[in-house]
């Protein structure tokens, strides 16, 4: 069983990465072979509309643009499970994650009848991290989570979305112009809530890495 893990945060050791590394441990504990990729290390853009994937006779589910992302797209389609994490930036996933979604989705989409070229199955876990507390997530970002669920259904597997809320954004709030945040509350969330989030990420990894 192969699980591919994609970090859509530019920070390689903060909240999103910590959650994903825990998910990776979970997947490996269930016997999965894992690959971990920091998307911000790769050089790519969103879809360039070259339409090579729509050419008659073109191999299906293949992004033909020559950059760092196309081989990753090949490996996602070949995996048993994918776990992708993103911080929420301005109410959305990061631009790297959005670019990946465009290209993954578009090369599997038929422009003849809007059916799905992809006939395999990849189970998907999405981890979203954010400043917003859970209540605000439910109110404002729940729709985004549903959209993520919908978009990854194109991989024909199960899709689960986990919201890791009220994260610690910096270690020392007193050094930044971030007066809107209650530093004591953030520290408390990091000490009490975040360990539970990490445990849930481990469990997600174990579920997805363990296969069907």
Alpha carbon of residue 76 to chain centroid = 12
DSSP β-ladder status, 122-129 and 156-164:
parallel
Site string for ligand FMN, 136-175 (x = CB under 6 A): -------------------------------x-x------
The nearer residue to ligand FMN, 21 or 154, going by C-beta atoms, is: 21
- Please state the φ and ψ torsions of residue 164, each to the nearest 5 degrees: -105, 105
CB of 164 to ligand FMN, least distance (A): 7
Which of positions 58-97 make contact with ligand FMN (CB under 6 A)?
A: 87-91
Instruction: Tell me how far apart the alpha carbons of residues 93 and 99 are, in angstroms, rounded to a whole number.
Output: 10
| Cβ at position 112, least distance to ligand FMN in Å | 38
CB of 99 to ligand FMN, least distance (A): 16
Determine, following the binding rule CB under 6 A, whether residue 36 of this chain makes contact with ligand FMN. Answer: no
Torsion angle of the four alpha carbons 68, 71, 76, 77, in this order, in degrees rounded to the nearest 10: 140
Binding residue (CB under 6 A) for ligand FMN from 84, 129, 204, 206: 129
Q: Rounded to the nearest 10 degrees, how much is the dihedral formed by the CA atoms of 6, 10, 13, 16?
A: -50
The answer for 31, left when phi > 0, alpha when psi is -120 to 50, beta otherwise, is left
Give whichever of 60 and 134 is closer to ligand FMN, judged by the CB atom: 134
Among residues 131, 148, 155, 163, the one that binds ligand FMN under rule CB under 6 A? 131
Q: How far is the CB of 115 from ligand FMN (least distance, A)?
A: 34
Interhelix angle 194-209/183-192, rounded to 10 degrees, is: 40
**Which residues contact ligand FMN by CB under 6 A?**
9, 11, 14-17, 87-91, 129-132, 167, 169
């Amino acid at each position: 069983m192969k699980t591919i893990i994609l970090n859509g945060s530019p920070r390689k050791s903060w909240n999103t990465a910590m959650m994903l590394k825990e998910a990776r441990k979970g997947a490996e504990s269930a016997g999965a072979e894992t690959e971990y990729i920091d998307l911000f290390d790769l050089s790519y853009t969103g879809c360039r509309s070259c339409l090579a994937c729509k050419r008659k006779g073109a191999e299906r589910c293949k992004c033909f643009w020559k950059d760092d992302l196309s081989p990753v797209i090949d490996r996602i389609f070949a995996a048993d499970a994918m776990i992708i994490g993103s911080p929420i930036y301005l109410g959305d996933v990061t631009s790297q994650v959005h670019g990946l979604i465009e290209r993954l989705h578009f090369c599997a989409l038929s422009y003849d009848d809007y059916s799905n070229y992809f006939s395999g199955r990849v189970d998907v876990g999405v981890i979203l991290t954010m400043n917003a507390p859970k209540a605000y997530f439910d109110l404002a970002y729940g729709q985004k989570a549903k959209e993520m669920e919908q978009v990854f259904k194109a991989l024909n597997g199960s899709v689960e979305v986990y919201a890791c809320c009220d994260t610690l954004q910096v270690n020392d709030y007193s050094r930044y112009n971030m007066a809107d945040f209650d530093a004591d509350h953030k520290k408390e969330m990091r000490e009490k809530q975040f360990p539970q989030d990490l445990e849930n990420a481990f469990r997600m990894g174990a579920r997805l890495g363990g296969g069907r």
